Amino acid sequence: MDRSERLTGNADTSLETCRKCPSKLVQPVQWRRLGDDLWEIDLRCPDCGRASRECVPTEAVAKYDQVMRRARVSLERHLEAIERVDSADARTPYGEPAPDLRILPEDHGLPPAA
Ligand SMILES: [Zn+2]
């Protein structure tokens, strides 16, 4: 089977988007490089449980990697905010107001919700 027969997506494939439900939180389970510009990725949607396998070019994998990096930065920021709240609570029962801990679409590089 040659490369073009294996491909299930192209450079614009949004690997973080579930093909069954509206979730944009699809996670990689396993990555395998099959060739110079061909990757096979096992994916799982945390919202509906769908498991899938995609074969895509390196550009799609690079974009997915950037999406996950942005999500990790967002999570780290929220964890730091939680730690600040926890340490403030330890000092005084009437500390600063709690920071906004909501996780928003724009935290993941998506447009704000309407
Ligand atoms: Zn899903």
> Which pLDDT tens digit goes with each residue over 67-112?
999 999 999 999 999 888 877 766 655 656 666 777 787 887 777 7
**Token pair recorded at residue 12:** 């614009």
Ligand 1 centre from 89 Cα, in Å? 37
Distance CA 49, CA 26 (A): 9
User: Taking a C-beta distance cutoff of 8 angstroms, is the pair 41, 31 a contact?
Assistant: yes
CA-based nearest residue to 60, from 30, 38, 84, 91: 38
φ, ψ at 82 (rounded to 5°): -65, -40
Structure tokens at 30: 């396993």
pLDDT at residue number 43: 98
The alpha carbon of 25 and the centre of ligand 1 are apart by a number of angstroms equal to: 8
d(CA 78, CA 76): 5
How far is the centre of ligand 1, averaged over its atoms, from the C-alpha of 36 (Å)? 30
Is the model's pLDDT at 9 over the cut of 80?
yes
Q: How far is the CA of 88 from the centre of ligand 1 (A)?
A: 38
Q: How many percent of the chain have pLDDT more than 70?
A: 89
Distance 72 CA to ligand 1 centre (A): 20
Distance CA 99, CA 4 (A): 49
pTM of the predicted model as reported, rounded to 2 decimal places: 0.71
Mean pLDDT for the stretch of residues 44-72: 96
Q: How far is the CA of 90 from the centre of ligand 1 (A)?
A: 39
